Structures are given as C-alpha cells and as structure tokens.
Chain A
Amino acid sequence: MLIFEHSSEGRRGAPQAPAEKAPLTAIPEKLLREGSAALPEVSELQAVRHYTRLSQKNFSIDTQFYPLGSCTMKYNPRACNSLAMLPGFLNAHPLTPDAQNQGFLACMHDLQSMLCEATGMAAFSLAPMAGAQGEFAGVAMIEAYHRSRGDDARKEILVPDAAHGTNPATAVMCGFTVKEIATLDNGDVDIDALKQAVGPHTAGLMLTNPSTLGVFERNIEAIAKVIHEAGGLLYYDGANLNAILGKIRPGDMGFDVIHSNLHKTFSTPHGGGGPGSGAVGVAERLRPFLPLPVVTEEDDSYRYLTAKDCPQSIGRLSAFMGNPGVLLRAYIYMRLLGREGMVRVAEFATLNANYMMAEAKRRGFTLAINDRRASHEFIITLKNEARDYHVSAMDFAKRLLDLGYHAPTTYFPLLVPECLLIEPTESEAKEALDGFMDALEQIKHEAETNPELLHAAPQTLPVKRLDEVRAAKQLDLAFKKQ
C-alpha cells in the first residue's frame, strides 16, 4: 500500500510547520500556484509506521550477510553516524566563513592527509560526490594535464574489457574515445595487446587493481612502464582498494591519479544507493588540476582553496563541498581504525575471500580463475550447472534470498558466463561465511534434484519475481490519483 493510499483529505502532520499560512504579499497572482500539490495527507504516526514497515522489506548489512562483489558491504559503525550528526556539524551552513568552520575544516584536512598516506598520492580533493564523479574528475584532470602541455592529440582512453561500466561512460563524458584491452585467462591484462594499442594518441589507461576478476594485476609495473613511455597517464579506479589497504599503495605502483570510494573502503553507508564519495588523489604533477574545493592549512588554521589559488583546477563539481556528511563518517572510521587497523582491513578481507574460495572449490563449484590468490573477492561460474540443470546464476541468486542471504553480484564482470562475484569483507565472522557456503551447496544440490525450486525462488519475500518487461513497457513511474 502506498503512502498516498493512507491519505485522508484534510489530515495533517501538525505541529511540524507553522499553524497558519502567512499571506504571500507582493507576489503577483500569475506567479502563484493554483491549488495544492497532491502530496499525501497523513498523520505523523501514519508516516512513521508506513516507513518503518517499508524498511522491514529491505535486506541490509545490519540484518543480513550481504556479500555483494565489488561493493564492499562491510559493517557501518554506528559511532560514525552519531558523531557525524553532532549539531555543530549538522547546523553548519556551507558558506560559513572559514574562521567559524575550523572544526569541520580540521577534519577534512586530516582526512585528505590520511588518504594521501594510505594511497601514496601527493594531494587529495574530497569534492567528488560518488565513485563515478571521482572518475569524471580524474579523467578530466588527465585531459587538462595533456592540454596544458599543448599535447592535444591524446584523445583515447584505454580500458580493460573487465572494467566497470562507469569507466568507458566516464571517458566519453570527458570527450575521449575508448579502446578496450583484452584480459588473459589468468586475469592479467594482455600486455602485448596493450603495447599494440598505445601511441601518441593515448591519453591514459584506467585500471582497477586488484581487477574486477578478483585477482591482483601482477604486471602492474610493466603496464605502468608501457603507458608512461607512450606519454599517457595511469588512472586507478579505487573500487577494490579494500583488498590492498596498507599492503601496497597505488602511488607506489605508478598510478598518477586515483579515486577512492569512501563508501566502500572507508565504510560510509551505501544508503540504498548513495550518497557516496569518490575523493580523488593525484601525483605531484597533477596537483594544480584538482577539483575544488580543497582544504589547506596555513598558520595553524584551515581554509578552502579557491579558484584564485588554483587557476588550473578543473573547477567545481557541486554547489558546495561534495558530501561533507559522508566525508565526516569516513574520517571517524579512519580514526577508529588508525594505522594498525587499516592494514588489518586488507588482511582479513583477503583471508575471508580466500577461505570462501577454498571452501567453494572443496564443495565442487567451478572457479572463474584457477591457481591464483583471491583478492578480497572471487568469482564462481555456474556455466556447468546452467548447461546440466537449466538453472542460471540469477536462479541461484534468488534462491539465496529465500535462505536469508543477500545475493552476490551476478553477471558481472561481463566476461565470465553465469557468474557470482562474492565479496565477504573483513567484518564478517567465520560462521557467517560457513553459513553462506552451506546455503550455496544446498542450492547446488537442489539444482540437481529439484531445479523448479530455484526457478520459482524467491518464495519467502514480500514479492515474487517481478515483471521487468511490463515495468519498462507500460511505464508507471509515479502515482496519480484516480
């Protein structure tokens, strides 16, 4: 039932607004609205009950194991939320003079420094509001860098075929053409294909390491050399930073520009689809191009750098300062971890993934890539099950929901048929991992003996499988009162 269907004409959620409507003096009639907007008319209790009950129809980290590959669904510590919502932060107007905003700016400045240290980059901007916007800022900086040197022929961005869809979409947004580079069966980039592809037209390569295939790119030094010798720059997509935090730094691998998904590695909440943060870091030669604002320290006080300070900046990405509430949560999380905790993130995320991978193999599942270490995630391919029992990766995913587990990422990366990309994260205990593997093994057995059970799943959730064709064809995108 929709909130609109709880509505009764004339009912109000008073006393949350002024009781009377003040006259709209000095506004010409033709600029005023005719009639009220058709919003729900419910009591506060009705609204509270409706949205509390709706929340109960969600799976979430707080209620279920959520091994969604490439998304790093780790525990979101409650302290990060409550401390980021202290009144001193919540009530700060974004245009408050820097002198009256020192507490907040100090946190942002420290966060920039910690991100530099953790990634081996020279400078950071916290401006991008999501991973995709971080990518945009990073690639726009690559463009600005080449342009500033009069190197105008560099119009092509290279992207491995296993990359996230945002990579090619971003490159095109920045005015580049995209060339895909093949990946070898062992998960590494095909260096020969890369050497063939580079030239004076190469602006850069976008790379995720560990890759979306869940393995560390062993030839990273050779790749960096090929790109740099061709005059291009190396872009690091930080989607999988959780796997290597404190173990190896993108800056030390030769990357010139990176974005870090703070909502993955640094545990800010995913919020049912944002807000995120895609902070960008750069090597020294790209520092002048960082998006604004950036926080700097001068004489023991902090201030925002402006376009006057940074004339070569690619500019602003938002009206104010990205997503400060998200940045505060990441900052608090990093202070809780400290330098000791950061290394353990990568260690235990990797331990959990390799343990699950060993268990998957022991239980008869086919791995997408054999004889490699898993990073913080790994891939099972269900192509044999699909062939023998006519069940798909999607069927496995839906049946897992019935058994109380959020499904892993399905059908990504696109290169692996019928795949499940599984990322447990460091914050899950061994019993959760074992429980999930038991469920997966049970489903494999069901696929052999009773595939209908998989086809008909889920049965225990608020709805069964939904008609996506109908949704796309008979578009119903907003409630209209009959």
Chain B
Amino acid sequence: MSEVPLELKYTKSHEWLRVEDDGLVTVGISDHAQELLGDLVFVELPETGTEFVAGDECCVVESVKAASDVYMPISGEIVEINEALVDEPEIINSSPYDSGWLFKVQPSAEEIEDLMDADAYQAEIAE
C-alpha cells in the first residue's frame, strides 16, 4: 500500500504539492508513482527561472521501464531544483515526499486549492 501523506495536495498524474511557509510550493512525485516506475535511473529537471502554465510538461523521470513526463501542477516560475537528484535519482524511490522532491515553484495563480486532497488521491489510485 502506497503512502499518501494527509497534508499534501495531489494531481491525477501523480505529482504531489506542499505549500511552504514562504509561499513557495514544493513539487514531487508520489510514492505510488515511484512504485509504478521502479528504480529511477535519471531525472531531467527544468531550469530555474523558467515559467510554466499548469499542465505543461516540465520534467522527465526515467526508470529502466519507462521515461515519464512530470506535468506542472500549477502555473508559476521554477525557483529551485533538487540538484541532489542529478547524481542520485534513486532518492526519489527511497524518499518520495522528503529528500526526493523535484523543484520549488513561485505560484502565479490561485490553483492549488482545486487539486485533490489525500483522500481523493487515495481513492483515485485505489481504482
């Protein structure tokens, strides 16, 4: 059974979001997503300073089995990326919600409340 922390927001395409104290939003992929992909071997991160609209492809996570797009869950600018993943993509497998975060966004619109909460995501992946 995959872990789905209660305090996070989720998307259908398996990204999670956490609103930090400074207003930035941290984004990663869910425990369920990393289980589906298996051992991650490479992460292609976006460049900081790039602006995306919600739904844009912004990042690729790659395992032996699949290269999967990560979609921007909310509109905004990339302000920080998780450089540690460049050399150790497997951190996403071992710690998807903590040290395996992908990037931080400065949101440009109020979209985050429209996303799924943990219960809704739990129901989504149970199907």
Interface residues of A (CB under 8 A from B): 468-469, 472-473
Q: From A473, which residue of chain B is reached at the shortest CB distance?
A: B41
State A469–B93 Cα separation when bound (angstroms). 13
Q: From B90, which residue of chain A is reached at the shortest CB distance?
A: A473
Q: Does B76 contact A (CB under 8 A)?
A: no
How many A-B pairs with Cβ below 8 Å? 13
State A376–B2 Cα separation when bound (angstroms). 42
Q: From A411, which residue of chain B is reached at the shortest CB distance?
A: B65
Distance in Å: Cβ of A177 to nearest Cβ of chain B: 15
Q: List 13 A-B contacts (CB under 8 A).
A: A468-B64, A469-B39, A469-B41, A469-B64, A472-B41, A472-B42, A472-B62, A472-B64, A473-B39, A473-B41, A473-B42, A473-B89, A473-B90
Interface string of B42-86 (1 = CB under 8 A from A): 100000000000000000001010000000000000000000000
Known: A472-B42, A472-B62, A472-B64. 6 other contacts (CB 8 A): A468-B64, A469-B39, A469-B64, A472-B41, A473-B42, A473-B89
State A325–B123 Cα separation when bound (angstroms). 58
For A469, the chain B residues whose CB sits under 8 A away are: 39, 41, 64
State A468–B39 Cα separation when bound (angstroms). 10
For B41, the chain A residues whose CB sits under 8 A away are: 469, 472-473
For A468, the chain B residues whose CB sits under 8 A away are: 64
State A468–B41 Cα separation when bound (angstroms). 10
For A473, the chain B residues whose CB sits under 8 A away are: 39, 41-42, 89-90
Within 8 A of A (CB), among B17-53: 39, 41-42
Distance in Å: Cβ of B28 to nearest Cβ of chain A: 20
State A28–B70 Cα separation when bound (angstroms). 51
Distance in Å: Cβ of A477 to nearest Cβ of chain B: 14
Residue count of chain B within 8 Å CB distance of chain A: 7
Interface residues of B (CB under 8 A from A): 39, 41-42, 62, 64, 89-90
For B42, the chain A residues whose CB sits under 8 A away are: 472-473
For B64, the chain A residues whose CB sits under 8 A away are: 468-469, 472
Q: From B38, which residue of chain A is reached at the shortest CB distance?
A: A469
For A472, the chain B residues whose CB sits under 8 A away are: 41-42, 62, 64
Q: From B89, which residue of chain A is reached at the shortest CB distance?
A: A473
State A472–B42 Cα separation when bound (angstroms). 8
State A216–B19 Cα separation when bound (angstroms). 54
State A272–B89 Cα separation when bound (angstroms). 32
Q: From B87, which residue of chain A is reached at the shortest CB distance?
A: A473
State A469–B90 Cα separation when bound (angstroms). 10
State A472–B38 Cα separation when bound (angstroms). 13
Distance in Å: Cβ of B41 to nearest Cβ of chain A: 4
State A469–B41 Cα separation when bound (angstroms). 7
Q: For A468, A469, A472, A473, which residue has the most chain B Cβ atoms within 10 angstroms?
A: A473
State A472–B67 Cα separation when bound (angstroms). 12
Distance in Å: Cβ of A414 to nearest Cβ of chain B: 11
Q: From A474, which residue of chain B is reached at the shortest CB distance?
A: B41
Q: For B39, B41, B90, which residue has the most chain A Cβ atoms within 10 angstroms?
A: B41
- Top 10 nearest A-B pairs (CB, nearest first) are A472-B41, A469-B39, A473-B41, A468-B64, A472-B64, A469-B64, A469-B41, A472-B42, A473-B89, A473-B42
Q: For B39, B89, B90, which residue has the most chain A Cβ atoms within 10 angstroms?
A: B39
For B62, the chain A residues whose CB sits under 8 A away are: 472
State A267–B47 Cα separation when bound (angstroms). 49
State A473–B41 Cα separation when bound (angstroms). 5
Q: From B39, which residue of chain A is reached at the shortest CB distance?
A: A469
State A183–B52 Cα separation when bound (angstroms). 36
State A473–B62 Cα separation when bound (angstroms). 10
Distance in Å: Cβ of B85 to nearest Cβ of chain A: 12
State A473–B42 Cα separation when bound (angstroms). 7
State A468–B90 Cα separation when bound (angstroms). 14
State A472–B43 Cα separation when bound (angstroms). 12
Q: From A472, which residue of chain B is reached at the shortest CB distance?
A: B41
State A473–B90 Cα separation when bound (angstroms). 9
State A469–B64 Cα separation when bound (angstroms). 6
Distance in Å: Cβ of A473 to nearest Cβ of chain B: 4
State A473–B89 Cα separation when bound (angstroms). 9
Distance in Å: Cβ of B91 to nearest Cβ of chain A: 12
Distance in Å: Cβ of B37 to nearest Cβ of chain A: 12
